[in-house]
Structure 1
Amino acid sequence: MIRRPPTIVCYICGREYGTKSISIHEPQCLKKWHNQNSLLPRELRRPEPKKPEVRTITAKGFYDLDALNEAAWTSAQSQLVPCDVCGRTFLPDRLIVHQRSCKPRAAK
């Protein structure tokens, strides 16, 4: 059985990155987040995401990647905003695009 290399979930965007490249990705992702957030209408702007602190260390002295990834995924999902009409969740910049075509369902 082939073992997949360990990956870490970005707490900002929710994508997986290798253990070496996550330290390069996070500052760039946060900078991109700030740029996109500043372009949104004031009512859709969000507070800056905070990196989750997971203090779960295994017996061998390593971080528990599963707990770390779960906390990061939850943080990334909390950035989503629900549509007022259908309830689906989107990133704020995508919500604007979605709302152009989202119509209330006709009563049966």
Structure 2
Amino acid sequence: MESATKPTMIRRPPTIVCYICGREYGTKSIAIHEPQCLKKWHNENNLLPKELRRPEPKKPEVRTITAKGFYDLDALNEAAWTSAQSTLVPCAVCGRTFLPDRLIVHQRSCKPKVAK
């Protein structure tokens, strides 16, 4: 006779979205990642043509604190994701959005559709 045990759910550790690149990092490693990510962002931004350079991304301020005194991670992550997505640049031909360095590569092969 088999015992009816419930499958145990493995709870994912909390993560925080980087406001610069949009990737998820652990609550301990985000403090290490952000300064390095910002430095990389500056290096890449300085290599772009002047018309594609962007202003430095600003860390979103989320002041929503839960009743227990913790930050609302969902609100923080949503603001960080929105910040990361706002750095994308649309292609003038097709409208898709890219990071500026990737837009240059995309534009080499993106051609307007020919009317038939």
Q: TM-score range by the shorter chain?
A: over 0.9
Give the superposition deviation at 1:83.
0.0
1:46-82 CA-partner distances (Å, limit 9, x unpaired) = 0000000000000000000000000000000000000
1:18-51 CA-partner distances (Å, limit 9, x unpaired) = 0000000000000000000000000000000000
Distance in 2, Cα, partners of 1:54 & 1:2 = 29
Distance in 1, Cα, partners of 2:115 & 2:65 = 54
Give the superposition deviation at 1:106.
1.2
Give the superposition deviation at 1:2.
1.2
The partner residue of 1:74 within 82, 85, 91 is 82
Distance in 2, Cα, partners of 1:35 & 1:2 = 39
Question: What SS is found at the alignment partner of 2:25?
Answer: strand
Distance in 2, Cα, partners of 1:14 & 1:106 = 35
Give the superposition deviation at 1:98.
0.1
Give the superposition deviation at 1:92.
0.2
Q: Percent identity?
A: 93
Question: What SS is found at the alignment partner of 2:19?
Answer: coil
Question: What SS is found at the alignment partner of 2:95?
Answer: coil
> Structure 1 runs of 4+ off > 6 angstroms?
none
Q: CA RMSD in A?
A: 0.4
1:79-104 CA-partner distances (Å, limit 9, x unpaired) = 00000000000000000000000000
- The aligned runs of 1:1-108 (5 Å cut-off) are 1-108=9-116
The size of the alignment, in residue pairs, is 108
Name the TM-score, length of structure 1 as normaliser. 0.99
Distance in 2, Cα, partners of 1:66 & 1:107 = 46
- Which stretches in structure 1 are left out of the alignment for 5+ residues? none
